């Protein structure tokens, strides 16, 4: 059976990792059987989670994993026309390559309270001394990534202002539809859910979380998908 390697569940959510939650949600939306093994990124083939094992295949990166699931199991996007597919791809890129960094900033840099919550959730599985050393090394590494992306060069106000524009776009695109592209879930919904629950539905406080919670449709969308696909986490 397919094995999904990801962080341990925490915060009552599928996963604290946006990308891990994206994959598990796709698996559930597509009705694909899987088991979970919890791990940390340093043990992953590309140093990042999630990755999967499927028979002899070990595959990292959520985009390649989704491609594999579409080809070998079920393609949730099969019915989309080229314009819908293009829109879905653009929204996924907005979520994964832009909004993501504002949430990373919230967790790793914005306030010490957030950092403590994030640190406990990620490194709490390790023995005490190793936990603190790993947290210091990873914090340094992730903060370099946030700076390298460009997000880390802005003020907090600027970072959240940019993130809020993403939230506006997502809210407008969803409108009053059940899913982003109609009445049935597509891969964009797995992505959107994974990232939105990690923005508005986790204990990391920020103006971005508050703003996202103020969008009725996004809040209800996250609650609806969690209730429908994760009844075990209610």
Contact residues for ligand GSH (CB under 6 A)?
A: 17-19, 41, 47-49, 61-63, 141
How many CB atoms within 10 Å of residue 8? 14
Classify strands 51-54 and 57-60 as parallel, antiparallel or unpaired: antiparallel
Question: Which CB sits closer to ligand GSH, 41 or 163?
Answer: 41
Q: How far is CA 172 from CA 121, 177, 186, in A?
A: 32, 10, 17
* Angle, vertex CA 137, rays to CA 36 and CA 50, nearest 5: 20
Q: How far is CA 56 from CA 31, 38, 69, in A?
A: 22, 19, 15
Question: Which CB sits closer to ligand GSH, 64 or 79?
Answer: 64
Q: How far is CA 109 from CA 138, 167, 200, in A?
A: 12, 20, 18
Question: Which CB sits closer to ligand GSH, 44 or 178?
Answer: 44
Q: Do residues 179 and 185 make contact, with C-beta atoms less than 8 angstroms apart?
A: yes
Question: Which CB sits closer to ligand GSH, 149 or 154?
Answer: 149
Question: Which CB sits closer to ligand GSH, 147 or 214?
Answer: 147
Q: Do residues 18 and 106 make contact, with C-beta atoms less than 8 angstroms apart?
A: no
């Amino acid at each position: 059976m397919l094995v999904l390697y990801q962080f341990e569940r925490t915060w009552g959510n599928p996963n604290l990792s946006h990308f891990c939650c994206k994959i598990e949600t796709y698996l559930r939306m597509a009705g694909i059987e899987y088991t979970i093994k919890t791990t940390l990124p340093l043990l992953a083939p590309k140093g990042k989670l999630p990755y999967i094992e499927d028979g002899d295949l070990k595959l990292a990166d959520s985009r390649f994993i989704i491609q594999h699931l579409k080809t070998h199991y079920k393609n949730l996007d099969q019915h989309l026309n080229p314009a819908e597919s293009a829109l879905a791809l653009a929204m996924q890129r907005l979520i994964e390559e832009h909004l993501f960094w504002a949430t990373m900033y919230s967790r790793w840099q914005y306030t010490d309270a957030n950092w403590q919550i994030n640190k406990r959730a990620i490194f709490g599985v390790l023995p005490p001394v190793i936990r603190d050393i790993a947290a210091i090394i990873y914090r340094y590494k992730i903060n370099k990534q946030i700076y390298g992306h460009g997000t880390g060069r802005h003020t907090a106000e600027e970072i959240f202002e940019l993130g809020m524009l993403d939230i506006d776009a997502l809210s407008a695109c969803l409108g009053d539809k059940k899913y982003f592209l109609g009445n049935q879930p597509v891969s964009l919904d797995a992505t959107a859910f994974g990232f939105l629950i990690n923005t508005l539905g986790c204990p990391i406080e920020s103006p971005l979380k508050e703003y996202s919670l103020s969008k009725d449709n996004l809040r209800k969308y996250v609650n609806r998908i969690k209730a429908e696909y994760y009844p075990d986490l209610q």
